[in-house]
Amino acid sequence: MNASSEQLFLNSLDPQWAWQSFQPSDSDPWNFDAAAHLVRRASFGADDARIKTLASGTPAQAVDLLLAKADNGEVFEQVSDQMADTLLASDNPMTLSAAWVYRLLFTPEPALENLVLFWHGHFATGADKVEKASLMWQQNRMLRQHAFGDIAAMTQSIAKDPAMLIYLDSVSNRKSHPNENFARELMELFCLGEGNYSEHDVLELARCFTGWEVRNNKFRKNRYQHDSGSKTVLSKTGNFDGEEAVDIVLAQEAMPLFICEKLFRYLIADGVTTPKSLLEQPAELLRQSDLQLLPTLKLMLGSNLFQSSWARHRKIKSPAHLVIGLMRGLKATSNSHRIAEGIREIGQGLFYPPNVKGWAGGRDWINSSTLLGRANLIRDLVRDPDTKFDQGGLSDYLKRIKADRPDAAIDLYQRLMMVTALPDKTRQTLIESFPKFGKDKEARHRGLLHAVASQPTFQLG
């Protein structure tokens, strides 16, 4: 299917059918592959046993289980926060990237972490400009707090977030010279999208935020610098302050549509223009839920469209999904600093988005340089003897789960981490090449994993 026919397919979709709960049938069964697809998109993949558990229930139960709070979530949160606090002592944002990688690898709530990554790309803030690690982590905690929940509260918080204001050159906003940066991005990138506001709205909205400052790395309102005059923002007139202005923006009809369109691209398919008609139902649900995200998430992840064969081939794995997916899929552990650095080198530095628009995603993840970089990163990680699989060697792990023959290992990798099976010829070549991948069984299995993970089809998620 080429790009135009994909668009035609999408335009012709019946929204009612698209968002109906997925009902398994003989032609579209709820099985391991379907559960693996769900867990790859909603989180970062999972190991064989976890996917089998998810596949053993109904699709709706699987979605609920993925989005539910984990029993040991709070304990992990404490450990993880303690580790981050410790790392903050060095005030180096680069070490925070490693701390986040650790969370991604070990969190019992990977779907939540996946959404935190989504919001990090949405409310993009770069540590290269903010510099203060503590501020970056503070923002990250806030995003985690609201990731599944209240978008309104999250947007209000981001409007006062020191890291965001520093990143957008908005540490000072005087009434004599309103700073338009945050006001513009609030409407264009965070809530409404282009075409849903005017330049006049930007100017008026900026006036609402006057007096909002960052001093000594903390947000404060300078009442002497606030423009207390009347403003007209998005057709509403009054003596608005910043909080009221954010509420006005959030109340716009375009807002839920804008968020749902981004979520659609993140969870279901990128590289297509989503028709407004298709997004109206999830957007309406978001609105009716007072901008609480969870119901809309469940709708999307449990839908016919999500489980359709069309949607399964419509995403390219981000660097984080590529690496963390592989690691989680095979219960692997390694040096988090190295993973963070590797992910950054192939285009997704955690806490280091490229600009205020965040990561474009989709085909932008792949070019000749990053494709090679992806293969090299996987090679470095997989070949590193410090990378353990279920606390030991890969061959031992595969033996335990009865997948230590090369063909069985390839089958496992395909089931866990790939949407499309390898072409027969490639598969056969890999099996025949197995003895050449290394001197011993461990090296051969690691070589095989690297070879599989370097295939073009492995890049689809």
The footprint of another protein (CB under 8 A) covers 79, 82-83, 85-91, 95, 98-99, 102, 105-106, 131-132, 216-218, 332-337, 386, 388
Least separation in angstroms between residue 193's CB and another protein is 35
Place of tokens 């993970």: 453
Kindly tell me which of 298 and 388 has the beta carbon lying closer to another protein. Answer: 388
Say if residues 345 and 373 touch (Cβ distance below 8 Å).
yes
Q: Is the dihedral of CA 391, 117, 66, 382 positive or negative?
A: negative
Helices 368-383 and 319-329 meet at what angle, rounded to 10? 20
Least separation in angstroms between residue 87's CB and another protein is 6
Dihedral of the alpha carbons of 223, 226, 228, 230, in degrees to the nearest 10: -160
Q: Is the dihedral of CA 82, 87, 93, 96 positive or negative?
A: negative
Residues 6+ away with beta carbon under 8 Å from 383:
443, 446, 447, 450
Kindly tell me which of 283 and 340 has the beta carbon lying closer to another protein. Answer: 340
Strand-pair partners of 231? 238
Kindly tell me which of 432 and 440 has the beta carbon lying closer to another protein. Answer: 440
Kindly tell me which of 5 and 216 has the beta carbon lying closer to another protein. Answer: 216
Kindly tell me which of 140 and 459 has the beta carbon lying closer to another protein. Answer: 140
Least separation in angstroms between residue 77's CB and another protein is 12
Kindly tell me which of 200 and 218 has the beta carbon lying closer to another protein. Answer: 218
Least separation in angstroms between residue 220's CB and another protein is 12
- The radius of gyration of the chain from alpha carbons, rounded to an integer in Å, stands at 23
57 to each of 34, 51, 110, 170, how far by Cα in Å?
12, 11, 19, 49
Least separation in angstroms between residue 333's CB and another protein is 3
Least separation in angstroms between residue 84's CB and another protein is 8
Kindly tell me which of 67 and 164 has the beta carbon lying closer to another protein. Answer: 164
Measured between alpha carbons, how far is 18 from 447 in angstroms, rounded to an integer?
41
Least separation in angstroms between residue 321's CB and another protein is 18
Kindly tell me which of 94 and 192 has the beta carbon lying closer to another protein. Answer: 94
Least separation in angstroms between residue 219's CB and another protein is 13
- The strand ranges marked E within 182-280 are 212-215, 218-221, 231-233, 236-238
Amino acid at 162: P
Burial of 146 (0-12, 13-18, 19+ CB in 10 A): buried
